[in-house]
Amino acid sequence: MRYARRRRWVAALLGLLAAVAAAPLVVAGGAAGAPPDSGLRTVLNDVHTDVIHVEYADGALRMRSRGGELPYDLYEPPDVLFQLKDIDQVSRFSVPDMPEFAFLGGPGDPVWIAPQTEADELVFAGWDTESILPGVLAGDAVDLSLVDVTGPGRVEIFGNDVAGMPVRMFSGTDANIRTLRQSVSSHTHANWAFSALGRYQLTFEARASTANGTPLAPARATYTWYVGDVAPEQAQVTLSVNPTEPSVGDKVTLTAAVSPVTAAGWVEFFDGTASLGFTAVTAGQAVLTTSALAGGSHPLTARYTPTYANDHTPSTSPPITLVVAGTGTPSSSPTPTPTASAPATAAPSRTTVAPSRTSAAPSSTAPSSTTTSPATSPSPNCTPTTHTSTSTSTTNAAVLAQGHVDYAARLVDGNLVAQIKDGTVAGRASWRDPADVVLHLKPGGATAVPAGNFGFLGATGARIWQIPQTQNSNLLWLGWNTEEIQAAQLRGGSLTWSLDKVEGPGKLVIYLFETFGQPRVVFNSGDGLPDRYTISTGTHAHGNWAFTREGAYKLTFTHRATLANGRSVSDTSTVTFAVGGTDPNGLARRVSSRVYTYTGNSCGGPLALTGTSLVGPVTAGAGLLLAGGIVVALTYRRRRSS
């Protein structure tokens, strides 16, 4: 028995030695076999994305990127490329002859801008700290710094003030405009300006301390932008050998110089058609050492393989003929350098454009509707008829006066529904019926009508109260979004949002700032209603909400769309505002009602709804709404796949 076990052990050892002998040799400084295949960076070019997504977990800061559909995609910075398309008068402009914009270049110089205001054709780029809750970091803030820029031109990142004038945030040319303090649980969008076409690399750093004042190790990441049509940059590789007159058994060092120096990837070294091994490129160089060259003439080449095929092209060096003095082969094999895994710069395992998602969104439950669509369609002999119903309840409305809020359109049980997305509590979002909310624009929102093209607001210098397009942490920050709706769900991938009625002491104007501060009006109750505005699915935007007088306002909006199956859907709701010194609590308790319509038939059965009522559940469901609503993750959604 003992001898049998020994025989089995010896046989296993001989098998292992045979396998080792048959395995390919790994030369010193390199790895055997072929290098990994090139991957593809994910290209984001017409989506709502946070280029810089700052996280804090396990006692450390981390920087990634995020965007896409729910559940949103998280990207490691090297795996994504942000493309700014070259479209005349959409992304490509001439620098205006205004001293305020001189930092972009001389009057008439070309400039390419990814705008602060969302545009269907362009990437809508920002940054965020939304995953970091208050109370975790000192000052509830992170310091973001632009520490390095490479590329063919200048880079400037700027926003707009209440008059539309530029507010510089990060500058690639002015060392005094490099750091911005960003509050936690927030996000920001800005204009990203580039002065020339081509590839750029922007390196950012995040710094913060814990709540007790202990500094954290800074996080740093490099983000790649491409302005214009994405094309891989031409790479070149040259080979040198040392020594140049070796003898059999000498160590020979092969050095491949790869340009540009930013090109990442691997270099495989060849003796004729036989591979000597490959090494990763570091700082523009790849080095391999071998003592396994036999006597005689050796045609040596180096072949560069990029990490990402949409970054750089493959390249092969001109051959070098190396003559090794002596005859025969070396008496000993080269010293192997076994590697358990691919080099640190290896391409990601995926080779498709769309990466696998790295996080899942929590499940969410929309507020229940009091009516549902039928399970079966009516007989074709039935005559459709339209019915209207009103549901009424008494509510204690939630007063929202500070933080992020969106007036949103969603599809619930196949019906279009308007809801308030309440993000005023950091780290969570609650969905509320508009009838159950009072939005308070505090007295701090008072400002004056700017000079220039702002006559639609009133006379220059006149007093107005305004929710700004750029977030003010002391005020309500109100936007609109269709993030919950996918393009394939609606015909044309868009819906119509209309302002039907304004009740209050003054007028309401909602407007946006264009790239160079020009105002663009969305709704203006002063020149007649209704006003209509088309919104693409997957949109999340912010604008200026201006009221010309203090007081209580009721704004009636309607969303309309056509589903992919051809059914028309709509929802009308009224939102209450307390502007300026008006007490919002006096508006919070009231009788509210919602009107919805559905199509029925002469056979007595209901057909598909064209609206919905969210007032019905006034018992336990209403209690949930008053307790803070149904909690879902606050995320971004991509408009279309790239």
Model confidence at 203: pLDDT above 70? yes
pLDDT value for 139: 95
Strands (E) located in 291-368: 296-306, 315-316, 320-324
Mean pLDDT of 86-92: 96
Q: How far is CA 98 from CA 102, 451, 549, in A?
A: 7, 15, 32
Cα gap 572→294, rounded to integer Å: 84
Model confidence at 17: pLDDT above 80? no
Q: In terms of Cα–Cα distance, which of 258, 268, 142 is closest to 211?
A: 142
Q: Which CATH architecture has domain 233-324?
A: Sandwich (2.60)
Model confidence at 77: pLDDT above 80? yes
Burial class of 220 by CB neighbour count within 10 A (0 to 12, 13 to 18, 19+): middle
pLDDT value for 539: 87
Confidence of residue 2 (pLDDT cuts 50, 70, 90): very low
Half-sphere exposure of 178 (CA within 13 A, CB side): 15
Q: Indicate the pairing of strand 236-242 with strand 252-259.
A: antiparallel
Model confidence at 373: pLDDT above 50? no
Model confidence at 626: pLDDT above 50? no
The answer to whether the beta carbons of residues 308 and 353 sit under 8 Å apart is no
Q: How far is CA 44 from CA 83, 84, 124, 358, 562, in A?
A: 6, 9, 9, 17, 28
pLDDT value for 538: 84
Model confidence at 30: pLDDT above 80? no
Q: Which residue has the higher pLDDT, 499 or 329?
A: 499
User: For 100-155, what is each residue's pLDDT tens digit?
Assistant: 999 999 999 999 999 998 888 899 999 999 899 999 999 999 999 999 999 999 99
pLDDT value for 509: 98
Confidence of residue 442 (pLDDT cuts 50, 70, 90): very high
Least confident of 67-71, 167-171, 317-321: 67-71
DSSP assignments along 396-407, one per residue: EPEEE-SEEEEE
DSSP assignments along 587-621, one per residue: GTEEEEEEEEEEEEETTS-EEEES---S-S--SHH
First to last CA, the chain: 66
Mean pLDDT of 304-332: 89
Domain coordinates in residue numbering, the chain: 42-227, 233-324, 395-588
Cα gap 392→511, rounded to integer Å: 33
* Lookup result for tokens 């007989």: 379
User: For 374-407, what is each residue's pLDDT tens digit?
Assistant: 333 333 344 444 445 555 655 589 999 999 999 9
Q: How far is CA 370 from CA 59, 203, 431, 615, 623, in A?
A: 46, 52, 17, 8, 16
Structure tokens that stand for 330 in this block: 């070396």
Which DSSP letter does residue 282 get?
B
Model confidence at 489: pLDDT above 60? yes
Q: In terms of Cα–Cα distance, which of 112, 160, 114 is closest to 452?
A: 160
pLDDT value for 47: 86
User: For 474-483, what is each residue's pLDDT tens digit?
Assistant: 999 999 999 8
Which DSSP letter does residue 72 get?
P
Q: What is the mean pLDDT of the chain?
A: 81
Residue type, 567: R
Cα gap 221→203, rounded to integer Å: 6
Residue type, 192: W
How long is the chain? 642
Enumerate residues 6+ apart whose C-beta is below 8 A from 544: 162, 466, 467, 468, 469, 509, 510, 511, 512, 513, 519
Structure tokens that stand for 521 in this block: 């009006």
pTM above 0.75, yes or no: no
